[in-house]
Structure 1
Amino acid sequence: MPSSSAASSSSAHSFNKILNVHKSSSRPRNATDVEESIKKLRRLILVDGIPSKANPSLRPRIWKILLRVHDISAETFLEYVGRGPCEVKEKIRNDTFRTLATDTGFKERVREDMLVRLLDAFVWRNHDRQESHQLGFTYVQGMNVLAAPFLYTMPSELEAFFCFAKFIEESCPLYVQPTLEGVHRGLKLLDRCLKIVDPEMYGYLRSKNLSAELYAFPSILTLCACTPPLDEVLQLWDFLLAFGVHLNVLCVIAQLLLMREAVMESSSPMRVLRTFPPLQARDVIGITVTLVRDLPADLYDELVRHPYEVSHR
């Protein structure tokens, strides 16, 4: 049986092979080629995970491909930064100092001023784009935590900014509207999915008047980034960026199933649910993939669309 370091090295080689083909400029890359390489990346992420310890440059390169971030303009970013603090600067600064506050590795790599700069720049970017976009963006609760993995992972603030902006504006725009519409939709969908995949647990929580709004709000709002350790969060985000933010709802259910015994045995389950156990990304991903198969097609379709599709009601 190969050692874990040999397996990790082999996995890194597989990823590099795809990435090298992806960036090869020997011939123009058409949309079919790009989609094919993204499909291969997704499969590797699902089967092996990104071996970021063996090769730290892999994750940032893969995230940029999955997010389809091609245009990175230093001039544009510096122009936003040059404008200084935005109109909601106090709101931003009320949150940034406590972002992943207990994670020393994060604090060593990402200073508060980096977070502030990125979030100010994001607000300025959308200040300019409001006329041409259906949804406007400003700073809202939780955005600081969603920005944190990008600043931690990317080699520069510049790359972190463009990845974060693309992610927010295209992957989960409804999660960062002032009403947090996507988050509340996600919480309702969590209840509906839990009722199907584990009716007994759902019934027990409801008997204690516990809905997902009460115990899962931070996990849905931050795409599980509020549950340490950060290296496990990043592995989970590899999966979410590859297959879709909507799967975070099922990732939270997977965490509930991993703590099922403690929840079901507690006469006050909210005490257990107040602090989720340390994140175990590979276990959560494994359970999430099996949960997808248990959902009716129409409910899964609703789940897929909830982070971005504006409802016309």
Structure 2
Amino acid sequence: MPSTDLYETLSSLLNPLSLSGRHRSTSEISDGLKRIRRIVLTEGIPEVAGKPSLRPKIWKLMLKVENLNAEDYLRWVSMGPSSDSHKIKNDTFRTLATDTQFKGKVKEDMLIRLLEAFVWKITSSELEDEGQPFKYVQGMNVLSAPFLYAMPSQLEAFACFSTFIENGCPLYVQPSLKGVHEGLKLLDKCLEIVDQELYDQLSSKNLKAEIYAFPSVMTLCACTPPLEEVLKLWDFLLAFGLHLNVLCVIAQLLLMRQELMDSPSPMKILRTFPPLDARPIIGITVALVKDIPEDLYRELVNHPFTA
């Protein structure tokens, strides 16, 4: 389908699916969501010159971000530097540092403001009373970057980022990075099932996922440029589940499989993953899902948020 037609189709699906559109029946909303997910999977979100990107609407829909509370956000911003301010400023200046497109649109002070506000939010008394299991950790700067780049306002970026962290991957931002380490263990288990030979080759060099895949798992591949391809991969992950990032990393290994099998020092290759190419990675990931046993897949689905 031509991009313009695809854009119009998605636009028409998104309008009645506005989360405030209570007049729509549950089945209509469910069917619409399925169609949007199918388009994201098979075609990707189209970009049409002269028309606003549909990505912000789709991301907010997938994250179930209904309300933008400007008052709370401005209050948290006004509280200034948090107790984690030194950690934040240690990270923000190097966030996607080589990406000129990102640097041209997202200034460091925007990253600092969003992350400081988030720290104030999660350390506020009402959240402490709920025993929230996360705080600021290294890597959150990279996880916030796609939202600041893709969303039309900092308020929308903050709302999406907060929901993404709190509901999507809270165990990834525990001080112990429990969810990340679990994801890395699951990566090894899944790789052994889908490609025993490659798993054995890497294992023979003492290359477990903890050694070569930590940044990719922790940042949901946002550490691998280019950013435009990261956004396409995140379209897929937000539509179908953040847990699939583990399989997306395996897909990248499979795309460089021959090189890894032939190399006497595979770590030299794995030290810097090749530029991200979202469409083949998504295609391989979808194919891998059917090879994962049901009990292991259940662990995969739960690992970002269930201890």
TM-score band, normalised by the shorter chain? over 0.9
Query: Judging changes above 3 Å, is the alpha-carbon distance between structure 1 residues 10 and 273 closer, same or farther for their aligned structure 2 residues?
Result: same
Give 2:234's aligned residue: 237
Q: Which amino acid aligns with 1:212?
A: A
Partners of 2:290 and 2:85 in 1: CA distance: 44
Structure 2 alignment gaps of length 5 or more: none
Q: Which amino acid aligns with 2:93?
A: F
Partners of 2:73 and 2:138 in 1: CA distance: 23
Say how many residue pairs are matched. Answer: 305
Partners of 2:145 and 2:4 in 1: CA distance: 28
Specify which of 47, 50, 54 is matched with residue 52 of structure 1.
Answer: 47
Give 2:292's aligned residue: 295
Partners of 2:19 and 2:56 in 1: CA distance: 18
Please state how far the C-alpha of 1:25 moved relative to its aligned partner.
6.9
**RMSD of the alignment, in Å?**
1.5
Instruction: Give secondary structure in 1 for the equivalent of 2:16.
Output: helix
Q: Determine what percentage of the aligned residue pairs are the same residue.
A: 61
Specify which of 31, 34, 38 is matched with residue 39 of structure 1.
Answer: 34
Check conservation: 2:217, 2:245, Cα contact below 8 A: yes
Give 2:112's aligned residue: 116
Partners of 1:134 and 1:29 in 2: CA distance: 36
Does residue 142 in structure 1 map to residue 139 in structure 2?
yes
Specify which of 62, 69, 89 is matched with residue 66 of structure 1.
Answer: 62
Partners of 2:134 and 2:146 in 1: CA distance: 20
Check conservation: 1:130, 1:136, Cα contact below 8 A: no
Specify which of 4, 18, 22 is matched with residue 23 of structure 1.
Answer: 18
Specify which of 274, 277, 291 is matched with residue 277 of structure 1.
Answer: 274
Check conservation: 1:52, 1:59, Cα contact below 8 A: no
User: How big is each residue's C-alpha offset from its partner over 1:2-26, in whole Å with a ceiling of 9 and x where there is no partner?
Assistant: xxxx711121111111012213977
Check conservation: 2:84, 2:136, Cα contact below 8 A: yes
> Mean Cα displacement is larger for which, 27-36 or 72-81?
27-36
Give 1:78's aligned residue: 74
Q: Which amino acid aligns with 1:99?
A: T
Check conservation: 1:110, 1:152, Cα contact below 8 A: yes
The TM-score normalised by the length of structure 1 is: 0.94
Structure 1 alignment gaps of length 5 or more: 1-5
Check conservation: 1:172, 1:307, Cα contact below 8 A: yes
User: How big is each residue's C-alpha offset from its partner over 1:53-83, in whole Å with a ceiling of 9 and x where there is no partner?
Assistant: 5544200011001100011011111000010
Give 1:3's aligned residue: none
